[in-house]
Chain A
Amino acid sequence: MPRKRENALIKSERRFGLALVTPSFFLVFSIIIFPILFSLYISFHSWNWKRPQTIGRFIGLTNYINAITNKFFVDSLRTTFIFAFSTVFLTFIMAMAIALVLNTDFRGRGVVRSILLIPWAIPAVSNAVLWQWAFDADYGWINGILRSLHLISEPIQWLSRGDLALGCVIFASVWKGVPFTAIVLLAALQTVPKALTEAARIDGAGRWGVFKNVTLPWISTSILVVNILNTVWTFQSFALIYNLTQGGPGTATQVLPYFIWIEAFRWMDAGLGSATAFVLMAIIFVLTAVYFKLFYRGGGEYR
């Protein structure tokens, strides 16, 4: 093929390709990237909708300093960490157990997998309603059953006691996250070659030994990915907390996304909200990097 024609062909290919990717990149740039940059700009400026005359004045790091020295921010930060790490950790442990059970042969496995998908598929608001009804102190079914079994005489104030509310929110969050995690881990378990585990058994390894030394290393990449996803998601939880506890009682269940939303849309301080959002973003990035550093060993091939 003559060079000139080849070049023309490449050019038309390139033009066609660029035309196809333009809509998606335009959308992502205008709805995600541009707003993020704009948010960074806002975070360095005074941007309180209650004081329109001061909007846009450059104030340096004042918003960040105001955020970090805000007692409610520090509380939310601690709550966010407790909430996210408990959720991710408990989700992983329970999902691993479920995946191991479902990895054995039994009748009706397909049905059980379908059922497992349901909590993952329902809206977060529905999840909140589900557990609001469960944990309701006066008429909820958990207290109702405990009372019928004569285990309690006074109703437990699940959602209005500071020391219990966060536990309830974590429980609801775990309940919704476990099925997805279990399905991913189950799929990973099914890729472990039988020959490998059998060889280990013949060499005298016990069940636990096989799991620890053969199965876990084989599925390590899936474990890493699913835990990163769960971490990113739980650090973003909003709908569940908004609808189950509204951050309360007091600020016992107030996590950072909720704090950001309240600051911006209730107290009208977009500057403080944006600064806090960047703190949240930095936390998520650092955590992801730490996960990779600690757990990524390349590939997921057998070592």
Chain B
Amino acid sequence: MKKSVISKILVYLCVIVIVLYVLLPFIFLVITSLKQERDVIVRSFTFFPPHGFDTLNWRYLFLGGSLPPEWGYQWSTPGVHIAVWNTIINSLIVAVSCVILNLVISGLGGYALARIKYIPGRNSAFMFLLATKMLPTAAIIIPLYLLLKQIGIINTLLALIIPYVAVQTPISIWILRGFFESLPPELEEAAWIDGASRMQTLLRIMLPIIVPGLGAVAVYSFLGAWGEFFFAVTFTSYPNTTFPVTISQFALEDNMVYSVLCTVGTFSVIPSIIIAILFQKLLIQGLTAGAVKR
């Protein structure tokens, strides 16, 4: 009896350590984003700043204005909110386009690779697709830059959308193929006998059942496109670039304002945190589907 109580306490202690390990960096980031710069550039970290909490950094980033030098801000760029909003909207356009294209392309491909027996080399084609995930992006970035330049879409949002979808397609097909394979074949066959075409059964009968799979693909696709940096910084520049590149500019600026950087950082993780919490089950299903054999 006593032993089990002790082991329970030990488990909870471990859990607290784990949670702190994950959340602590975020807590410091959020607190700093709500401080005035003069309370940030001090020699020790305070949880409760002497001059109180303030939303000035947030207003500066998203509504514009300037930062008062008497509050410790040595530097401010009036109108910075225009650049911030511009790239956030770009990021949303890119991410949503990726989700839609990815669902259509991988949905069709995943269905065919799962269900149509007569495609020559079906399994090896699928393995080949997956194997492309082993190729380092650093090996395609140079020729892809030349290719995008050649077809004239370098430094546009298309230069990001198309490569993102291409990079995400193999994993999406892998997830969706698994979902389609888990459905009993009788489901479709009954509808064919009633005279429905293949496309009709796919759209009306199959797709509604695998909504969790489509959801997982949509979430991965969105997170991937929202956070991607390597292609974005190489193929695009302001005003045609995405939010991660803006974050990077704040982070690498010579005249860095700490509280503003922490505000950008805090904002950039909000969508991911919301998605992680809302779609926990879906994401874990997808994450573990392939790595764990059941």
Contact partner, A299, options B14, B258, B293, Cβ 8 Å: B293
A114 touches B277 (CB 8 A): yes
Contact partner, B136, options A13, A121, A124, A281, Cβ 8 Å: A281
Shortest beta-carbon distance from B292 to chain A in Å? 5
Contact partner, A28, options B44, B132, B268, Cβ 8 Å: B132
User: Contacts A32-B132, A131-B25; is A117 near B283 (CB within 8 Å)?
Assistant: yes
Query: Does B273 interact with chain A (Cβ within 8 Å)?
Result: yes
Would you give the 0/1 interface string for A260-303, flagging 1 where the beta carbon is closer than 8 Å to chain B? Answer: 11001100001001100110110011001000000000011000
Question: What residue in chain A is nearest B32 (Cβ atoms)?
Answer: A133
B247 touches A125 (CB 8 A): yes
Chain A residue contacts of B182, Cβ below 8 A: none
Chain B residue contacts of A299, Cβ below 8 A: 293
Query: Does A25 interact with chain B (Cβ within 8 Å)?
Result: yes
Chain B residue contacts of A65, Cβ below 8 A: none
Instruction: Give how many A-B residue pairs fall within 8 Å (CB-CB).
Output: 302
Chain A residue contacts of B129, Cβ below 8 A: 24-25, 28
Would you give the 0/1 interface string for A100-131, flagging 1 where the beta carbon is closer than 8 Å to chain B? Answer: 01101010101011111111111111101111
Chain A residue contacts of B147, Cβ below 8 A: 30, 34-35, 38
B251 touches A14 (CB 8 A): no
B138 touches A280 (CB 8 A): yes
Contact partner, B143, options A39, A122, A239, A261, Cβ 8 Å: A39
Complex formed: what's the CA distance from A124 to B224 in Å? 10
B162 touches A31 (CB 8 A): yes
Segment among A162-170, A198-206, A209-217, A221-229 that sits at the interface with chain B: A221-229
Complex formed: what's the CA distance from A121 to B250 in Å? 21
Complex formed: what's the CA distance from A145 to B250 in Å? 25
Would you give the 0/1 interface string for B234-276, flagging 1 where the beta carbon is closer than 8 Å to chain A? Answer: 1000000000100110111000001001101100110011011
Complex formed: what's the CA distance from A108 to B11 in Å? 12
Query: Does A20 interact with chain B (Cβ within 8 Å)?
Result: yes
Give the total of B residues in contact with A, Cβ under 8 Å. Answer: 97
Complex formed: what's the CA distance from A132 to B252 in Å? 10
A148 touches B22 (CB 8 A): no
Query: For chain A, what secondary structure do more than half of its interface residues adopt (helix, strand, loop), or is it mixed?
Result: helix
Query: Does A57 interact with chain B (Cβ within 8 Å)?
Result: no
B108 touches A261 (CB 8 A): no
Complex formed: what's the CA distance from A273 to B146 in Å? 13
Complex formed: what's the CA distance from A283 to B188 in Å? 46
Complex formed: what's the CA distance from A281 to B142 in Å? 14
Complex formed: what's the CA distance from A24 to B172 in Å? 10
A123 touches B229 (CB 8 A): yes
Shortest beta-carbon distance from A104 to chain B in Å? 5
Chain B residue contacts of A138, Cβ below 8 A: 41
Question: What residue in chain B is nearest A24 (Cβ atoms)?
Answer: B109
B141 touches A261 (CB 8 A): yes
Complex formed: what's the CA distance from A225 to B228 in Å? 23
Residues of A155-200 at the interface with B, using a CB-CB cut-off of 8 Å, are: 175, 179-180, 183-184, 187-188, 191
Query: Does B42 interact with chain A (Cβ within 8 Å)?
Result: yes
Complex formed: what's the CA distance from A14 to B144 in Å? 32
B positions within 8 Å CB-CB of A: 8, 11-12, 14-15, 18-19, 21-23, 25-26, 28-29, 32, 40-45, 104-106, 108-109, 111-113, 116-120, 125, 129, 132-147, 162-163, 165-167, 169-170, 173, 198, 223, 226-230, 233-234, 244, 247-248, 250-252, 258, 261-262, 264-265, 268-269, 272-273, 275-277, 280, 283-284, 287-288, 290-294
Extra A-B contacts (16), CB below 8 Å, given A104-B11, A118-B276, A274-B142: A13-B118, A21-B112, A21-B113, A24-B105, A34-B143, A101-B11, A115-B23, A129-B250, A131-B25, A184-B291, A232-B136, A238-B229, A242-B233, A257-B136, A270-B142, A277-B138
* 25 pairs of residues in contact across A and B, judged by CB atoms under 8 Å: A17-B118, A23-B105, A24-B169, A27-B165, A28-B129, A28-B132, A32-B167, A39-B143, A112-B18, A117-B284, A123-B226, A123-B228, A124-B227, A129-B29, A129-B251, A131-B25, A134-B28, A139-B41, A147-B44, A225-B291, A226-B291, A257-B137, A257-B230, A260-B142, A264-B141
